[in-house]
Amino acid sequence: MSKRWAEVNGEAGPRADAHAPARPSKARTTMAFIFVAALYVWSGIGTETRPVSLLLGIPDMANLFSRMWPPNMAYLRTMVVPLMETMQMAVLGTALGAALAVPVVLVSSRNISRYRKAYYTARAVLNLVRTLPDILLASVFAAALGFGALPGVMALAVFSFGIIAKLTSETVEAIDPGPLEALSATGSPRINVVYYGVVPQVLPQFVAYCLYVFEINVRAATVLGLVGAGGIGMWLQRDMNLMMYRNASAIILLIFAFVLVMDFISNWLRGRLV
């Protein structure tokens, strides 16, 4: 392709010098040590993380735990619907993210993308999207769309899109180019070269990435409620605020069991893929 492209992909220029590397002096190690230690002290002061306050907090913690015990298991019957909503958020968020990722992968994979500008733009967007934490996305969507499960779904969709598109692009870039060459040589339309040459090569990994992101989303969906984005987290938030700690502890146990089961199912499915 063009020269700039070759340069971008090529090796770095010649090495600056051929001197034997100098042995780092002791002084530099000591300086680094002091710097890191200072960093810890500074962070500790800023966050008021003092060993003493931690020790003084123990009775309060014990008090809280005692008020959480025993968990109100009868309460879980009313939590079935919120829990299902949490799962539905994870399912929809993952599916929307994956659907959004597919066309973008065609642009953000170096070996498939035909327009360099689009490639760099897509890459930049993906990098940007992945810097946004899901909880931040959820609070923005909650502010825009109102409280409920919809902002949660949207937050998870954007978040899933970023991860799935990035991982899948990297997989597409690593495929065997031979079949693509052969399909191009048959005079197949471009879209079918991709469909017949790329899809079979990456499909198992793509599905594995979706399941992996689904696992992350199940966990994320349980806490998105804390910022008003639906699911069981909203109920946890409410019970904590109302100091209904036995309800809260039941919810925490339920989330724990739920995440464990979903992880197990997803892992089992992923294991069967390859």
Partner 1 sequence: MIELIEISKTFPNGVQALKNVSLTIGDGEFVVIVGLSGAGKSTLLRCINRLVEPTSGKVVIDGVDVTAAGPEELRRIRTRIGMIFQDFNLVKRSLVITNVLAGRLGHTSPFRGLAGLFSREDIDVALSCLDKVDIRDKAYVRADQLSGGQQQRVGIARALAQMPSLILADEPVASLDPPTSHVVMRDLKRINEEDHITTIVNLHFIDLARQYGSRIVGLRAGELVYDGPAQDATEGTFESIYGRRIHEGDLRDVEEVGRSERGSRSSR
Binding site for partner 1 (CB under 8 A): 1, 3, 6, 176, 178-179, 181-189, 191-193, 195-197, 200-201, 203
The distance of closest approach from Cβ of residue 5 to partner 1 in the complex, given in angstroms and rounded to an integer, is: 9
For residues 96 and 158, is the Cβ–Cβ distance under 8 A?
no
Label residues 208-233 b or e (16+ Cβ within 10 Å = b): bbbbbbbbbbbbbbbbbbbbbbbbbb
| CB-nearer residue toward partner 1: 72 or 188 | 188
| CB-nearer residue toward partner 1: 210 or 229 | 210
* 269: amino acid identity, one letter: L
- Collapse the DSSP code of 231 into the 3-class scheme (helix H, G, I; strand E, B; otherwise coil) and give the result: coil
The distance of closest approach from Cβ of residue 118 to partner 1 in the complex, given in angstroms and rounded to an integer, is: 17
The distance of closest approach from Cβ of residue 184 to partner 1 in the complex, given in angstroms and rounded to an integer, is: 7
Q: Write phi, then psi, for 37 (nearest 5 degrees).
A: -60, -45
- Collapse the DSSP code of 33 into the 3-class scheme (helix H, G, I; strand E, B; otherwise coil) and give the result: helix
The distance of closest approach from Cβ of residue 193 to partner 1 in the complex, given in angstroms and rounded to an integer, is: 8
| CB-nearer residue toward partner 1: 151 or 197 | 197
| CB-nearer residue toward partner 1: 26 or 272 | 272
Angle at 87 between CA 131 and CA 101, to 5 degrees: 40
The distance of closest approach from Cβ of residue 256 to partner 1 in the complex, given in angstroms and rounded to an integer, is: 38
| CB-nearer residue toward partner 1: 193 or 227 | 193
The Cα–Cα gap between 113 and 240 comes to 50
Q: Of 212, 202, 210, 207, whose CA–CA distance to 111 is shortest?
A: 202
